[in-house]
Chains A and B, each alone.
Chain A
Amino acid sequence: MSEHRFTLRLGDKRYPAQLAETPDPPRVLYGIGDPSALVEGLGVVGARRATPYGLRCTRLFAGWAAGHGISIISGAAIGCDREAHLAALDAGGDTLAVLGCGPDVDYPRRSAPLLAELRRCHVVISECPFGQQPTRWSFVRRNRIIAGLARAVLVVEAGLPSGTFSTADAALDAGRDVLAVPGSVFSPESRGSNRLIRQGAMPITDVGELAQYLGLEGATPAAGDVAADDTLRALVADPMRPDDLARALGIDIVHTARTLGALEAAGHVVRYADGRYGVR
């Protein structure tokens, strides 16, 4: 076992300064990995039951920021969290996970391989001691650490109600900015993020806006490719079921089914678990 365990007390030299100055910093941080990786970064959080849209946004923004030297901080949960870490790793950037259980505990189980990778090459921390199992409340408490380590928290996709709201609240308590990715007016999975924008969160609608916010001048944001056909254009705006799509475009159901089947096979659209189709 080459994993490196460490313990940082509030007041230690290596205790992250930005976290220490928050209203309610943890007295002790337990960690595995490289403690010098506990730098200020961008918190990226979102729903566990993310839609392909949410995952795609996560990958776009987290991947881009990590590729430009910003560490991505998240909670290793399934859905958006996981995608944020993976996008950062794929971009060759830095990322760290804050857990609601001991830093050596694999929770959720499905994130075990990801956590192993982070412990080995990056860092995983928690205010829960080694070996402690998660409790219901430890996750809510954990969110203030994510917010405290970050200079801003980006909410990629959140329904209503949503656990991500507690991270947004913690960010505001700690004086951090809250950024949010807007979603379709019709998408229940974006109701939370849209509401955050109405309440004053900064909308992030493309990479350029994120770059500007992070002060990364000279970055060339990739223009989103404009959807070529009617079906894709309709689905970019609003993921739909085949029946609704057929009605919206005024085409018959057989034609719609064939178009969607071909687009899915080609990897242009994906089916949501609820039967809607969205653009990948």
Chain B
Amino acid sequence: MQATVATTTLTGVEAIAVEVQADVSPGLPVFGIVGLADTAVQEARDRVRAALRSVGFDFPNARVIVNLAPAPLRKHGTGFDLPIALAVLAATGQVPRAALDDVTAVGELGLDGSVREIPGMLAHAISAVRADRDLLGPFSAGRVVGVVPQLRYRGIESLGRMKGGLPATASPKASRVQTPAVPVLDVADIAGHESAKRGLEIAAAGRHNLLLVGPPGSGKSMLARALCGLLPPLTEAESLESALVHSVAGLDPRQCLDGIRPFRAPHHSCSVAGLVGGGTPPRPGEMSLAHNGVLFLDELPEFGPASLQALRQPIEEGVITLVRAHGAVRYPARITLAAAMNPCPCGYAGDPQRECRCTDGAVSRYSARVGGPLYDRMDLTLRIDRVDPALIIDDAPVKPMSETVRGRIATAHAFAGIRRPSSMRSQLQPDARALLEDAARHANLSGRAVTRVVRVARTIADLEQSVPIVVSHVAEALGYRSWDTA
């Protein structure tokens, strides 16, 4: 007696089709799983046996072999519990085989037969829609997978529910989160820091990487948090992408579905795998969780050299590729990087009020930890200094209204979308180009640095809804390049 049930398993942010074949034949009672299954999948045997019994199904007193195909694909996780149980039930005639023909099943089983959520429900849902199949899974996941258009979802709370046949399809409305978990800091609440706020505006308008350098307590972390509040809400497509990564990582994707841009601020003790993704089974890292949002690295030089090096390529490419024995896993990572650091180990270099006690060697070693290639990827480097307390008190009337700033940024986004995508070089006016060449020679800018200056100038022009990039745009952009401290 044989039966086959379709399921899907995660590779990166995609769910790949897998067939669960069960063969029940007379013989010594054994229960084996073959087909490159990891420990969690092997443990399915115990959960499936117990679950079947506790809801009143029979577990066959026979030789039960489950094969997961295709064999070369490594199978991870507990999501195979439900399809394995269903395949055994179908093979033993306890559930009609035909009922499962158009269904893809995923879910973990409790010993009591309850069907539980697994990471990546959104990915499984998207895959089911693409394959034009119904998705059978934990009832509780309905509120999340409900956002996937055209999904036919059949949610069950317990395996026992299968005695009454397949549960009906439902298109559950995704439930919305009411309040964002991270309180967004408003730029209007920040006194002074006029150039820094202008820098934030440009970074937000063009999704540029940003480095904030300044003494302790000057407001670097505060400014970085404000950046997130300046970005326009996620578009529908972005929402789904970001939610997908959260779902795959086993985190609640609802904030992303509500259009709230991800803001991730991993501590510097975070491992390389925690930052860019990795592990077995592979899991997306902070960088991918920040996809379409802001990754904030506070105290940048304190991150390990391996972490800092691992950041470089994904910053440029917007995607992380983890190379595995059984193929590469890719996670999206289109982020705006905001980083903060002190100018020296003691933190007070260049502070007019406090004296820096670091040796020159210590200062250059500190700065060298970040390394030229990473500095090079920072489009805007802003020096942040403590604001005069008197100004914090008096500043009220000249605060830029955050609504106004957000409006300008949204307009710039829209403008960038509609302006003809001719090459940046042709938009660069001759005198702007001459200035850039002068500066590049003067400051010995790398090729990448020049490209990035042009991109920032392009954003500045977008903020003014100007197609040509004129000399003042380039001049301002140059001012945000990191400077040589030698």
Contact = CB atoms under 8 A, between A and B. Distances in A.
Interface string A239-280: 001110010000001101111111011110001111110000
A272 B350 contact: yes
Interface string A9-53: 000000000000000000000000000000000000000110000
Contact of A243 (B192, B438, B439): B192
Contact of B195 (A78, A242, A273): A242
Contacts of A276: 350
Interface stretch (B262-270, B307-315, B368-376, B471-479): B471-479
A188 interface: yes
B343 interface: yes
A243 B197 CA distance: 11
A264 B193 contact: no
B312 to A, nearest CB: 25
B476 A257 contact: yes
> DSSP majority for the A interface?
helix
Contacts of B352: 188
A interface, how many residues as a size bin?
Answer: 20 to 34
Contacts of A188: 352
A261 B479 contact: yes
Interface in B180-228: 192-195, 197-198, 213
B442 interface: yes
Contacts of A242: 194-195, 479
A275 B438 contact: no
B477 A261 contact: yes
Given A258-B475, A265-B442, A243 B343 contact: no
Nearest to A274: B350
A257 B360 contact: no
B41 interface: no
A265 B472 CA distance: 11
Given A266-B438, A271-B483, A246 B350 contact: no
B479 to A, nearest CB: 4
Interface in B449-476: 471-472, 474-476
A264 B360 contact: no
B198 A253 contact: yes
Contact of B349 (A259, A260, A266, A274): A274
B435 interface: yes
A257 B350 contact: no
B383 interface: yes
Contact of A274 (B198, B343, B478): B343
Contact of B198 (A254, A265, A271): A254
B385 interface: yes
A275 B383 contact: yes
Contacts of B471: 262
A260 B350 contact: no
A273 B479 contact: no
Given A274-B350, A275-B350, A243 B193 contact: yes
B435 A265 contact: yes
A222 B483 CA distance: 31
Given A262-B471, A265-B475, A271-B483, A243 B435 contact: no
A216 B193 CA distance: 50
A29 B41 CA distance: 81
Contacts of B193: 243
Contacts of A241: 195, 383, 385
Contacts of B472: 258, 262
Interface string B363-391: 00000000000000000000101000000
Given A275-B350, A275-B383, 5 more contacts: A241-B383, A253-B197, A254-B476, A262-B472, A274-B351
6 contacts: A241-B385, A242-B479, A254-B198, A259-B475, A261-B475, A275-B350
Interface of A: 48-49, 78, 188, 241-243, 246, 253-254, 256-262, 264-267, 271-276
Interface of B: 192-195, 197-198, 213, 343, 349-352, 360, 383, 385, 435-436, 438-439, 442, 471-472, 474-479, 483, 485
Q: Top 4 A-B pairs ranked by shortest CB distance?
A: A274-B350, A275-B383, A261-B475, A261-B479
